[in-house]
A and B are shown apart, each in its own frame.
Chain A
Amino acid sequence: MTIGFGIVELVSIIMFFFSYYAIIVSRNMIKSIIFMSIMEVSVVMFWLSIGFNGNIVPPILQSMEGHSIENIGDPLTQGLMITAIVIGLSVTAVNTIMFLTLYRKYKTTDWDIVKKRQMAG
């Protein structure tokens, strides 16, 4: 097992913490939802980068022929990430619907104003 950082992993980690920072600082709900999606994408990218190097081939029979086992992509991470992407999609959908209902009630996209009005009742 090699332990070291490739460029893809580095980018995905930077993306992860960048989107986390953006979630903290943005008062706009839409932006929060968008950056949550970016966070999900960065995690998916991190998983796909596991065992990735420049000359890797997909784990499909035709393209695998003539390659040694180290150069074949890991099918497990790809299978898992399809699930994660689908979950991320439905999560974004639910988030957007809930945001819309909230927007119709309070007529604002600002977290702080919504919180104030909610506390007031």
Chain B
Amino acid sequence: MLVYFVIVPIIVGLILYLLYKSTLVRIFAVIAQLGLVIASVYMFIQARAFTVYEGAIKGGFLGESGIIERIGGYESVMGITLMADTLSAVFIMLTAFFFLIGVIYSFNEQKKPLFWMLMFIWQGALMGIFLTSDFFNIFVLMEVATLIVTVLILFERAKRSMYDGLIYFMANVVIMQFYLLGAGYLYRYTGTLSLYIANEQLKFIEREYIILPYVLIMTFIVLKSALVPMFSWLPKAHGTPGAPSSVSAILSGLHIKSAVYLFLRFQYTFEVVAVPEFFLAIGIITAIVGFIMALAQSDAKLVLAYHTISQIGLIFTGFNIGGPYSYIGSLYHMVNHAIFKSTLFLATGIISYAYGTRTIYDIKGVFKSMPLVGTATLLAIFGITGTPIFNGSISKYFIMSGQQGIMQYILIFMSLGTIISFVKFSTMLWGKPNINIETKKVDIAQQIPILLLGSLCFLGGVFGQQFILFMFNTELSVNPAGYLEKIIIFFISLVVGILIYKYYIKKSKLLKRVKQIDLGFRGICIAMGIFFGIMLIYVGFLQ
């Protein structure tokens, strides 16, 4: 059953390409995608029932926990194994859902058959990454996904984005070689490519031999999830003017999460040498650098792209911080980030199309010119800043659980940064519109998905605990007194954020200099080497 989640999207994509004639085929695409959503929910419920191992949510696996499928009927030592436990099934569900949003959004916008084929094949590759438990499959599927994303981000205005596409592609290919070398070492020492058998074998091998493959593979993860110091490719890929909005939304909402998901799996596989405190430090630095870079931008799409870096940093912080609920909070934040960031990307697509510009300072009065789009954007901003009763507040509350002293202040500082960058972003919404309202009509097929996502930001906050119980099979409860404290902190930081924005950010010369920081291809490659060296020294000598 699991293998169909990879094959069906690819076949649908090919059918769309070959038989592409009219609207009818696009309706078929939407129906096929709806079918995939239903199948994925059914599969999720099955996988949740079969997952008996309680560490499954932490990226762990144990023999027969979850749905296991051996392709070709070989034993798991020899053949390729697909596995769906609670963790991977959640991501399958998210993939199917966000591609449904993307397909509906692009319904009237994209008319080229190539776009539809690539979207569906991309979905197949992503589903494969979430399902597979084989080192080499991950390599192949990641390469496929990288190739498709490169073509998609160059899709419109290809020449202007060619540099961005080239940097994205080449950086990702070079890091793939690091990964393949690491997997080679692992195969050499353990004689297997399967994640769980490797996990068991590694316990019997001396620690010094595992260090090199671990560091090589983690360098790959750090580039793919755009942590410091290798984030420079992400704004190019996610914020390039050539990419259709639906592609940017899925890239930022979902594609980047595939690397975070692999991080959880690999941390478990290499549990003998894992260094969570190292990734905690990297996560904190990334979160802070990300929002400072976001504040320096004036292009709406680039603000969102840099802000994605900051949020990935927060997610990594949550995974490695070690609080009682922070792990689950971080997982929930991944889902929430996918929801509000794709809302914002899609809304920015509509807004920049209507206003003919992407510069934040040139856009005014979205609320009056496009009330529905404005509402959805505002809901998403509430979600991302962690406004009380919206989804971001619930996940941030759980991430912060049990933190005291300096760590608590760092987390508050991060969320203050988010607030300031979205105070800046929300200046688009207010004021008098500077375009003619009558002439701009927004496509209904584009309004439905963003309104749906916007309302999910609200529902995810109100029913946060129920969502967590459903998705991650973990019962958590919000302590009213603690939550009240967070509400007070939020409003204080909102006031502080608005003041900082008004009296500092607008006039700052330092930020203009920050805006100039941009690594080229060689810079990214040097960063890879530096990171590899630092991590090798840390894991090898300082542990």
Decide: B520 and A84 in contact? CB cutoff 8 A: no
Decide: A91 and B518 in contact? CB cutoff 8 A: no
Cβ of A67 under 8 Å from chain B: no
Complex Cα gap A27–B180 (Å): 26
Cβ of A80 under 8 Å from chain B: yes
Write the B193-212 contact mask toward A (1 if CB under 8 angstroms, else 0).
10000000000000001000
Number of A-B contacts (CB under 8 A): 86
Interface residues of B in 520-540 (CB under 8 A from A): 520-522, 525-526, 529
Cβ of B370 under 8 Å from chain A: no
With a CB–CB cut-off of 8 A, which chain B residues contact A115?
Answer: 163, 518, 520
Interface residues of A in 9-40 (CB under 8 A from B): 16, 20, 23-24, 27, 32-33, 36, 39-40
Cβ of B69 under 8 Å from chain A: no
Decide: A16 and B520 in contact? CB cutoff 8 A: no
Residue of B nearest to A17 (CB): B529
Asked if A111 meets B522 with Cβ closer than 8 Å, knowing A20-B529, A43-B181, A102-B163, the reply is yes
Decide: B184 and A50 in contact? CB cutoff 8 A: yes
Decide: A36 and B173 in contact? CB cutoff 8 A: yes
Asked if A16 meets B177 with Cβ closer than 8 Å, knowing A36-B170, A105-B159, the reply is yes
Cβ of B107 under 8 Å from chain A: no
8 Å CB contact of B191 from A1, A87, A101, A114: A1
Decide: B143 and A87 in contact? CB cutoff 8 A: yes
Cβ of B158 under 8 Å from chain A: yes
Asked if A90 meets B163 with Cβ closer than 8 Å, knowing A32-B170, A50-B184, A111-B521, the reply is no
Chain A binding surface SS class: helix
Decide: B174 and A39 in contact? CB cutoff 8 A: yes
Chain B binding surface SS class: helix
Cβ of A83 under 8 Å from chain B: yes
With a CB–CB cut-off of 8 A, which chain A residues contact B165?
Answer: 98
Complex Cα gap A114–B159 (Å): 13
Decide: B180 and A98 in contact? CB cutoff 8 A: no
Decide: B525 and A23 in contact? CB cutoff 8 A: yes
Asked if A90 meets B147 with Cβ closer than 8 Å, knowing A20-B525, A36-B170, A80-B136, the reply is yes
With a CB–CB cut-off of 8 A, which chain B residues contact A83?
Answer: 136, 140
Interface residues of A in 74-121 (CB under 8 A from B): 76-77, 80, 83-84, 87, 90-91, 94-95, 98-99, 101-102, 105, 111-112, 114-115, 118-119
Identify the interface centre among B139, B159, B174: most chain A CB within 10 Å of its CB: B174
Decide: B189 and A101 in contact? CB cutoff 8 A: no
With a CB–CB cut-off of 8 A, which chain A residues contact B507?
Answer: none
Complex Cα gap A3–B166 (Å): 39
Binding site for A on B (CB under 8 A): 136, 139-140, 143, 147, 150, 158-159, 162-163, 165-166, 169-170, 173-174, 177, 180-181, 184, 187-191, 193, 209, 518, 520-522, 525-526, 529
A-B contact pairs, 19 of them (CB 8 A): A16-B181, A32-B521, A36-B170, A43-B181, A46-B181, A47-B187, A50-B188, A76-B193, A80-B136, A83-B136, A87-B140, A91-B173, A94-B150, A98-B150, A98-B169, A101-B159, A102-B163, A105-B159, A119-B518
Binding site for B on A (CB under 8 A): 1, 3, 16, 20, 23-24, 27, 32-33, 36, 39-40, 43, 46-47, 50-51, 76-77, 80, 83-84, 87, 90-91, 94-95, 98-99, 101-102, 105, 111-112, 114-115, 118-119
